[in-house]
Amino acid sequence: MGLHYKMPEEYKGGYRKRSNKTGYDPRIWTKKEIEWVYMLKEKGLSNTEIAECIDRDITQVSIKIKRVAKKDKGYNRRHVDEKYSTNELFFDMIKPKSVLDVYSGPESWYFKKGIKLTSNDKDKNYAANFNMDALEFLCKMFCERKKFDLIDLDPFGSAYDCFDLSIKMAKKALIITLGEMGHKRFKRFDFVRRYYGIEKLESFTSDKLVEEIIKIGVRNKKKLVPIFVKDWRNISRVYFKIDSLNVGLDEKIKK
């Protein structure tokens, strides 16, 4: 995970002279570096992982994160509250009987929903049904011919590699958190250029990413209809209802 979010070298500041207090040559914190730390923290990376991404000591990172958090206490709470309230609205709308939570975290949001839940998280410290790499997990589910009313992809970064299999297995709905949006803040196009064909900042929108995901749905003969598109700082979350591409024709036949 750390390598995927390796901070660009140009974001690093210069070095001050070593002091007796620190015991090392302290690197100056730049605005870009602090923003990178903020982005990684919002994605859920641990302080150890963040330290690896920005080539700093874990102590330096821990102190800086505490200071950054004091400056903006309310944002993350608002984001989480809106995410969970939208989850609730969509859940009530879709009424799924089975859910696949691919990146469940410490405890899946669906755990107490009274449905058949299959959960996974790579972290073996989490009490999920499986503790596997997300793509390997989806390959396993697909090979076992599993189907789910709702599949939720809520990664720390991008879940692009998981889109195709998730669309194949989802029957009623698909939820995707677009961690790729975090790259926009730093005007980095390497990932989105390759996967979404985005070359300019003005094209770097959640709508553009949604368009590309809908195309993957079409290749799988499914119509992905975005019901809710939530844009927060550095991240977006999209709630898709899934229909057959021939839903119009199917309705005419029924009549």
Which has the minimum average pLDDT: 91-100, 160-169, 183-192, 196-205?
183-192
Burial code of 154-171, b = ≥16 C-beta within 10 A, e = fewer?
bbbbbbbebbebbbbbbb
In tens, the pLDDT along 200-228 reads 999 999 999 999 999 999 999 999 999 99
Average pLDDT across the chain, whole number? 86
Asked if the model's pLDDT at residue 3 lies above 70, the reply is no
For residue 80, is it within any domain? no
107 with 57, same domain? no
Asked if the model's pLDDT at residue 33 lies above 90, the reply is no
Q: How far apart are CA 95 and CA 150, in angstroms?
A: 9
32 with 120, same domain? no
Q: Which domain holds residue 122?
A: 93-254
134 with 244, same domain? yes
31 with 65, same domain? yes
Residue 232 three-state SS = strand
252 pLDDT band, cuts 50/70/90, is very low
115 with 208, same domain? yes
Q: How far apart are CA 127 and CA 140, in angstroms?
A: 19
130 with 214, same domain? yes
Of 71, 101, 116, which residue is a domain's last? 71
Average of pLDDT values for 133-156? 96
Of 71, 102, 131, which residue is a domain's last? 71
- Compute how many other C-beta atoms are within 10 angstroms of the C-beta atom of residue 138: 26
104 with 191, same domain? yes
Q: What is the CATH number of the domain that holds 238?
A: 3.40.50.150
97 with 214, same domain? yes
For residue 251, the model assigns a pLDDT of 46
The DSSP secondary-structure symbol of 7 reads: P
- Compute how many other C-beta atoms are within 10 angstroms of the C-beta atom of residue 94: 19
Q: Report the percentage of the chain scoring pLDDT > 70.
A: 85
Average of pLDDT values for 186-198? 90
- Compute how many other C-beta atoms are within 10 angstroms of the C-beta atom of residue 43: 19
For residue 79, is it within any domain? no
In tens, the pLDDT along 97-126 reads 999 999 998 889 999 999 999 999 998 878
97 with 32, same domain? no
126 with 237, same domain? yes
Asked if the model's pLDDT at residue 149 lies above 90, the reply is yes
* Total domains, the chain: 2
Of 40, 71, 102, which residue is a domain's last? 71
- More confidently predicted of 125 and 165: 165
38 with 141, same domain? no
In tens, the pLDDT along 52-80 reads 989 998 888 888 877 776 666 555 566 78
